[in-house]
Amino acid sequence: MNLEIYYPQEDYKPEIYQSSPKRPWMDAAGDKHPYRCVPLLRANSHGWEMRLQQDVTVWWDGGDLPEAITFDDSSHDYETGHPIVSNNLGSGVLSFIVYALVKTPKPYNLYVTGAPNSLIRGAVPLTGVVETWWSPYTFTMNWKLRYTDRPVTFPKGFPFVHFFPINSVELEQWEPVYKDIKDHEYAEEYLEWNTDRYLNPTKRHDYYKHGTLPNGCPITDPELHKLKLNLND
């Protein structure tokens, strides 16, 4: 399947990358231990992203009106003059303009959010689902500012938007079913692991990372077990 990208501006075509599995705060952690968390790594690389070509600094005075957010000259691309951010939503919401019209095959929509586990001081990403299988409209990536009366800077290279296709039709067909733990296919293996974890709290349990059960046996379909994704550019 194709994820089609159309650029409305001939002179401004931001590149799209697979989301990096690395994060600065994970690099800074002692012994880089967050990288041992496979679900974290996989989420980091679970989609595509656009990155800022320059620092963008904004201020919010805490008010609800759009003009409560103010900018310096970093709000426009230094080379082309195209605006990068907008304050038209109000309520302390900063909008990054996504210079791309994305098309997905029916019935796939686009899950749009901030890059997973990426941190910005003074702002949090807002998440949306866009019906890109039909929509002829571009979208913005919105961030809620949390700091007031002091600058919030999104640095050059920061992934200001992250997205991946989802099948919302299929999602609506899922039904939560509650069952007793003893009826799980691997109930004995779960109890063995949970007991060992309780008795040996400092022990590294890398069974999930290696795709094995506590007895060392590999899971069925080991080819589906991934530490990170390798998406097409």
Query: What is the spatial distance between Cα 103 and Cα 135, in angstroms, rounded to a whole number?
Result: 8
Within 10 angstroms of residue 92's Cβ, the number of other Cβ atoms is 21
Tell me the pTM.
0.91
Contacts of 135-140 with CB under 8 Å at 24 or more apart are: 136/101, 137/101, 138/8, 138/97, 138/98, 138/99, 138/100, 138/101, 139/98, 139/112, 140/86, 140/95, 140/96, 140/97, 140/98
Q: Tens of pLDDT along the chain (233 residues)? A: 999 999 999 999 999 999 999 999 999 998 888 999 999 999 999 999 999 999 999 999 999 999 999 999 999 999 999 999 999 999 999 999 999 999 999 999 999 999 999 999 999 999 999 999 999 999 999 999 999 999 999 999 999 999 999 999 999 999 999 999 999 999 999 999 889 888 888 888 788 888 888 888 888 888 888 888 889 87
What is the separation of C-alpha 216 from the centre of its chain, rounded to a whole number of angstroms?
A: 32
Same domain, 166 and 188: no
Structural domain for 202, as ranges: 181-224
Are 108 and 220 members of one domain?
no
Query: How far is 71 from 60, CA to CA, in rounded Å?
Result: 9
**Structural domain includes residue 232:** no
Statement to judge: residues 90 and 135 lie in one domain? yes
Rg (the chain; Cα; Å): 21
Q: Considering its fold, how many domains does the chain have in total?
A: 2
